Each structure stands twice: as C-alpha cells, then as structure tokens.
Chains A and B, each alone.
Chain A
Amino acid sequence: MHVRNRFLLMFVTGCLILTLAFRLTLSHAIDTGGVFGIAATAVGYFGLLFTLGWFTGSGYYRKTRRADITFSIHFISYLSFFAISLLWFIWGNRSDHEKLWHVYLALGIWSPVLLYSYVLHQRHKQDYIDGIDKSTLFE
C-alpha cells in the first residue's frame, strides 16, 4: 500500500473510533452531566483528534518529507464527525435534549474553517511539486 494511503487509513480508523466514543460520551454527558461534562467531552475530543492528526501528519512527514496530507486529515475529520453525528440521530442514539439543528450549527461553524484550510492548501500547493518543497528540491 502507498505510504500516504497507509497513514490516511490509520487516521481514518482512529478518527472513527474517537468520534464514536465522543458521540457516546456527549449524549451521556447531556443526559447526566452539567455544562462542565459537555465542555470537557468536547475539549477532550478536539484535543485527542488534534493529537492524532498531529502524529499522523508528522509521522508521514518523517517518512516521506512531504507535507501534503494536512488538508486530507482535516477533511476526513470533518466528514467523520458529520457522518457519525447524522447516523447517531438516524440510529436513535441521541440524547433527548439533542436536536438536529445542533449538528447543523456545528456544520455552519466548521465549514468556513474547512473552506479556509482548503484555500491555504491550494496556495501551499504552488510551493510543491508532487508534494516536495520546490525550494529544497534541487538544493
């Protein structure tokens, strides 16, 4: 398997497990915990997902000297979060206090950030040829 796909597969697996655990914990926290429990769950999820992305990206960079995986990691996180969140509603696992518009609100907040990171990724791509930094290619 191509190195990039191997790292992405590792990230997808970790991301899906984390997101499922997050949904489970969040629904539970909404039902039983207060604001603190909900906030701790969200911060914990973000922290763990960020750490997983960081290790995946830096491991891939150490192996290949390429930095072309960052947007893919962000996009996978976005897709996993919303796919699992919607499935959570379809499967009927949501808390009684959760509403679908909460997911749409998160979508509304995250989408512009994703779009911004896509713009950065496109700008960044001009500095690379096949994922190799142009400024270091022939040095």
Chain B
Amino acid sequence: MGKYQELLVTWEETYKKGQLTLWIFLSLREGQKHVNEMREFIKELSQGTIVCDEQSLYRALRKFYDVSLVDFSFVKGNRGPDKKYYFLTDLGKRLLAEFIERNILLFFNERLIKLINIK
C-alpha cells in the first residue's frame, strides 16, 4: 500500500469510528427496523463504506436501550420466531434532531459546500 492509500485508510478508519450511532439512528428515523434491515440500510446508504456485523449492532442497540434512546417491540414473522423491531424513543428522536442540527447541518453552509465540491 502506498503512502497516499495508507493515509486515506488511516483517516477513514478514525473518521468512521463513532459514526455507527448516527447511521443506526438515521435508519430508525425512517421507521422501526429489524437488525438485518438496519444493516442493509447502513450498507446501502453509506455506499458500502460502513459495514457492520449483527453483533456490533446488537451491542450498540443494547446500550441505547439501557439509556432509553431506543425501544423494541416483537412483530410476528411469517415463519419462525417473532422478530425484534427497534424504534427511536422520544428521547432518541430529540437527541438525534439536536445532534444533526449541531453537527451535520453546519456542512450545508454555502461556503463549506463550495469547499467540499472543489476538485
């Protein structure tokens, strides 16, 4: 791996750390989801840059459940056992909205958009 690739991969690895929460919350903002659906959502909309396994999702969801950011309900499946569907609680929705406002929307500033689009 060349120096350029190494720098890029290192930066991306650091950048992606902590992003899983945002992707999980965004997937649940769209509507309640099963873990597999969340994984698909994240893979598709991050264009494959964020790939997470079921265990990582369950681990994160369990912590979010413990601090009342997400909750779940069981939905009867066609076959097999009932599926656990996760959704954002009111606290989770409020937290996500505020996080987006403080940390994401700032990138929609015209000056920043121009800078981001410079090739």
A, B: real partners: yes
Q: Is B17 an interface residue (CB 8 A)?
A: yes
Q: Is A124 an interface residue (CB 8 A)?
A: no
Question: What is the chain A residue whose CB lies nearest that of B62?
Answer: A65
Q: Is A132 an interface residue (CB 8 A)?
A: yes
Question: What is the chain B residue whose CB lies nearest that of A129?
Answer: B67
Q: Is A64 an interface residue (CB 8 A)?
A: yes
Q: How many residues of A contact B (CB 8 A)?
A: 11
Chain A residues lying within 8 Å of B18, measured Cβ to Cβ, are: 138-139
Task: Point out the residue from A64, A137, A139 that lies within 8 Å of B67, measured CB to CB.
Answer: A137
Question: What is the chain B residue whose CB lies nearest that of A66?
Answer: B66
Task: Report whether B66 and A131 are in contact in the complex, using a CB–CB cutoff of 8 Å.
Answer: yes
Mask of A60-97 contacts with B, CB within 8 angstroms, 1/0:
00001110000000000000000000000000000000
CA distance A12 to B18 in the complex (A): 39
Mask of B17-40 contacts with A, CB within 8 angstroms, 1/0:
110010000000000000000000
Task: Point out the residue from A64, A130, A139 that lies within 8 Å of B68, measured CB to CB.
Answer: A130
Mask of B43-85 contacts with A, CB within 8 angstroms, 1/0:
0000000000000000000110011100000000000000000
Task: Report whether A139 and B17 are in contact in the complex, using a CB–CB cutoff of 8 Å.
Answer: yes
CA distance A68 to B10 in the complex (A): 35
Determine how close the nearest CB of chain A comes to the CB of B57; give it in whole angstroms. Answer: 13
For chain A residues 90-139, which have a beta carbon within 8 Å of chain B?
129-132, 136-139
Determine how close the nearest CB of chain A comes to the CB of B56; give it in whole angstroms. Answer: 10
CA distance A64 to B65 in the complex (A): 11
A-B CB contact pairs (8 Å), 20 listed = A64-B66, A65-B62, A65-B63, A65-B66, A66-B66, A129-B67, A130-B66, A130-B67, A130-B68, A131-B66, A132-B63, A132-B66, A132-B67, A136-B63, A137-B63, A137-B67, A138-B18, A138-B21, A139-B17, A139-B18
Interface residues, chain B, with chain A CB atoms under 8 Å away: 17-18, 21, 62-63, 66-68
